[in-house]
Chains A and B, each alone.
Chain A
Amino acid sequence: MQAEELNIDLRAPELTALGVPAPSTARRRWVDAAFRRYRHWLIILPPFLFLTIFFVIPFLFAFKISFADSTIGIPPFTPLFGPIQDNHINISISTDNYDYLFTDDLYILSYLYSVRTAFFATLVCLLIGYPMAYAMSRASKTTQNLLLLIIILPFWTSFLLRVYALETIVRENGLLNETLLWLGLIDHPLRIMRTTGAVYLGIVYSYLPFMVLPLYATLEKLDHSLVEASADLGQPPWRAFIDVTLPLSLPGVIAGSMLVFIPAIGEYVIPSLMGGPNSLMIGRVLWDEFFSNHDWPVASAVAIAFVVLLVGPIAIYQHYNVKQLEA
């Protein structure tokens, strides 16, 4: 009891010094206990409320608007809850936008195209990124730090400018074609820009660091004596890799793949700058629906359907991410 009193006095010496009359002890204790019990919410609430309002609630609005009809005006959609007439509210929910998604080939095709493109680009990233991360994890500590900086630096550099830099190299009169022509390997410039290949190239180029970093993080922690033990038992190196290294680095493989796959499906900049008119990725369709056609309800429906498709991959990512954080 005495210690508690002492604590309170220590915490508010300036108040007693100023001669502020102390509230009755019982009330003070009650306020103090309540404050102690709930004060952690002072820290939790600001980020919690901010993210609820500006990350979660926006999805609810998108969900709501996806059931509206589009009109010409500001905002360009009809209200769901109309004016009250004869004591009941007019509710006009239209599932037309969703019907439209399934009847117009454009949307389904662009979903499939996006998923396919993102999948193969992720695979290429993995095939290049895994050996890179492995070589990094096996280097000496000083080299590791240097290599890490080299891999992280592009991650900090502007995404848009990196895509632009890649474009300047692979365009028809870019460095790549000029060099190949000069070497005599080709007799007319390769057409790389505005093809599906260019979209793959762009995604691999932009997202490679996202693959390498989590892979490196797991491979670096890997106990190499296990691999040596496997070699001592007479296993060839590739067996040691398949039996030991690969399974142990699986969390990194999955985290890296999801970090590439999920944003790549929704990629807008790369297909619009590098892809041809046929590379209708869903991000591009969504952008056009919103900015060119001004059809917000359809754009919302596309976005909501897209998020529903992403729930699976995001859950996988979160699961392995939490595992990795706990490890």
Chain B
Amino acid sequence: MTNRTSPLILTILCFGIAFLYLPMLVLIAYSFNGSALVQVWGGFSTKWYVELFHNDQILDAALLSVEIAVTASTGAVILGTLAAIALVRFPRFRGRLLLTGMVNAPLIMPEIITGITLVLLFMSMTEMFSWPTTRGFTTIVIAHVAFCMGYVTITVQSRLQTVDKTLEEAAMDLGSGPVRAFCDVTLPIIAPSLVSGWLLSFTLSLDDLVISSFVAGPGSSTLPMVIYSKVKLGVSPDVNALASLVIGIVGIGVIIAGTLMRRAERQRAIDLQMAAR
């Protein structure tokens, strides 16, 4: 039944995948080009990588971006998971529809709109409450939490829907309170979705250019902002090296996380089978 797909469709699949991957592979190849000129192959060299690690501007921006991404994705996982629990476990409460909308809308809202409305909010807040005093780390983290938590909610929500509620009820019958029952029984089951939600938020935050540009004050440049200004000015070979590094780390990270999670999943399935026996 599987080998009936027409060759034309398979060709399009292969073409599509090649289209998605070729530019990135070429970029990685270029990053090892000894010559600063793109059209000339100057031999294999890692000098752009060495140069990268001497560029304080890039290193500072990378550090700031990682700090923001860790804080924002942690916040997004906490709030996003709470929202998922609210939506799955409490089928009727006042404002449920509003919460659903607020969780989902940031996912498709064009970034530029989110960015501009948030900076107007921060400016008005500074005027009214004299907080935030400066725009930078805090405002970027808040903005990132706001647009990342929807991804966490969707990931956790779909997982939470599959969890057997009777297990938790059993724990409650045995005397543990609802919070305790949730943490002991359900939380371990949905933990993989929390991890993938965190990772997704981390990469989204690390990558964000538009929203950060709006809500960042002068002096706080994240990595995408530095890359963007360098790219805008023209070709710079150290950006090739930086891009390859980021693509490589993210790629390897996703593959490792995926494999680990699949293994944990398989283990869980085996455990369940053993328990059922």
Stretch at the interface among B46-54, B119-127, B268-276: B119-127
Closest to A206 in B: B20
In the bound complex, what is the Cα–Cα distance between A128 and B146 (angstroms)?
A: 32
Closest to B142 in A: A54
Interface flag for B203 (CB, 8 Å) = yes
Would you call A273 and B93 a contact (CB within 8 A)?
A: no
Would you call B20 and A54 a contact (CB within 8 A)?
A: no
In the bound complex, what is the Cα–Cα distance between A174 and B240 (angstroms)?
A: 14
In the bound complex, what is the Cα–Cα distance between A272 and B146 (angstroms)?
A: 25
Q: Which residues of B contact A61 (CB under 8 A)?
A: 117, 120-121, 124
- Shortest distance between the CB of B130 and any CB in chain A (Å): 13
Secondary structure call for the A interface: helix
Interface residues of B in 44-87 (CB under 8 A from A): 78-80, 82-83, 85-86
Q: Which residues of A contact B104 (CB under 8 A)?
A: 318, 321
Interface flag for A27 (CB, 8 Å) = no
Across the interface, B27 reaches (CB within 8 A) one of A75, A168, A205, namely A168
Closest to B242 in A: A161
Would you call B246 and A165 a contact (CB within 8 A)?
A: no
Mark interface residues in B1-33 (1 if CB within 8 Å of A CB, else 0): 110110011101101110111111011001000
Would you call B207 and A160 a contact (CB within 8 A)?
A: yes
Interface flag for B189 (CB, 8 Å) = no
In the bound complex, what is the Cα–Cα distance between A56 and B144 (angstroms)?
A: 15
Q: Which residues of A contact B114 (CB under 8 A)?
A: 55, 58
In the bound complex, what is the Cα–Cα distance between A267 and B210 (angstroms)?
A: 10
Would you call B224 and A265 a contact (CB within 8 A)?
A: no
Q: Which residues of A contact B38 (CB under 8 A)?
A: 168, 171, 173-174
Q: Which residues of A contact B99 (CB under 8 A)?
A: 44, 47-48, 51
Across the interface, A154 reaches (CB within 8 A) one of B10, B20, B30, B127, namely B20
Across the interface, A266 reaches (CB within 8 A) one of B113, B232, B247, namely B113
In the bound complex, what is the Cα–Cα distance between A168 and B22 (angstroms)?
A: 11
Across the interface, A307 reaches (CB within 8 A) one of B79, B113, B251, namely B113
- Shortest distance between the CB of B139 and any CB in chain A (Å): 10
Interface flag for B149 (CB, 8 Å) = yes
Would you call B111 and A266 a contact (CB within 8 A)?
A: yes
Interface flag for A31 (CB, 8 Å) = no
Secondary structure call for the B interface: helix
Across the interface, A161 reaches (CB within 8 A) one of B142, B246, B255, namely B246
- Shortest distance between the CB of A132 and any CB in chain B (Å): 5
Closest to B203 in A: A156
Would you call A165 and B24 a contact (CB within 8 A)?
A: yes
How many residues of chain A get a CB closer than 8 Å to chain B's CBs? 91
Would you call B86 and A44 a contact (CB within 8 A)?
A: yes
Interface residues of B in 140-197 (CB under 8 A from A): 142-143, 145-146, 149, 153, 158, 175, 177
Q: Range of interface residues on chain B?
A: 35 or more
Across the interface, B90 reaches (CB within 8 A) one of A40, A167, A169, namely A40
Closest to A300 in B: B120
In the bound complex, what is the Cα–Cα distance between A224 and B4 (angstroms)?
A: 12
**Contact A51:B117 (CB < 8 A) given known A135-B9, A173-B39, A266-B110:** no
Across the interface, B224 reaches (CB within 8 A) one of A153, A158, A209, A290, namely A158
- Shortest distance between the CB of A161 and any CB in chain B (Å): 4
Interface flag for A164 (CB, 8 Å) = yes
Would you call A135 and B116 a contact (CB within 8 A)?
A: no
Interface flag for A178 (CB, 8 Å) = yes
Would you call A75 and B246 a contact (CB within 8 A)?
A: no
Would you call B227 and A161 a contact (CB within 8 A)?
A: yes
Interface flag for A253 (CB, 8 Å) = no
Interface flag for A113 (CB, 8 Å) = no
Would you call A268 and B210 a contact (CB within 8 A)?
A: yes
**Contact A296:B120 (CB < 8 A) given known A51-B99, A153-B254:** yes
- Shortest distance between the CB of B91 and any CB in chain A (Å): 11
Across the interface, A139 reaches (CB within 8 A) one of B2, B85, B90, B224, namely B2
Mark interface residues in A144-155 (1 if CB within 8 Å of B CB, else 0): 000101111110
| B positions within 8 Å CB-CB of A | 1-2, 4-5, 8-10, 12-13, 15-17, 19-24, 26-27, 30, 38-39, 78-80, 82-83, 85-86, 89-90, 93, 95, 98-106, 108-114, 116-118, 120-121, 123-124, 127, 142-143, 145-146, 149, 153, 158, 175, 177, 200, 203, 206-207, 209-210, 213-214, 224, 227-228, 231-232, 235, 239-240, 243, 246-247, 250-251, 254-255, 258
Jot down 5 A-B pairs with beta carbons below 8 A, ordered by A: A48-B102, A131-B16, A166-B23, A168-B240, A175-B26
Given contact pairs A258-B108, A267-B110, enumerate 9 new A-B contacts (beta carbons under 8 Å): A51-B83, A62-B120, A128-B16, A135-B10, A149-B258, A153-B254, A156-B251, A175-B26, A307-B113
| A positions within 8 Å CB-CB of B | 10-11, 40-41, 43-44, 46-48, 50-52, 54-59, 61-62, 65, 75, 128-129, 131-132, 134-136, 138-140, 147, 149-154, 156-162, 164-169, 171, 173-175, 178, 205, 208-209, 212, 224, 258-259, 262-263, 265-269, 272-273, 283, 286-287, 290-291, 296, 299-300, 303, 306-307, 310, 314, 317-318, 321-322, 325
Q: A-B pairs with the 3 shortest C-beta distances? A: A266-B110, A58-B117, A47-B83
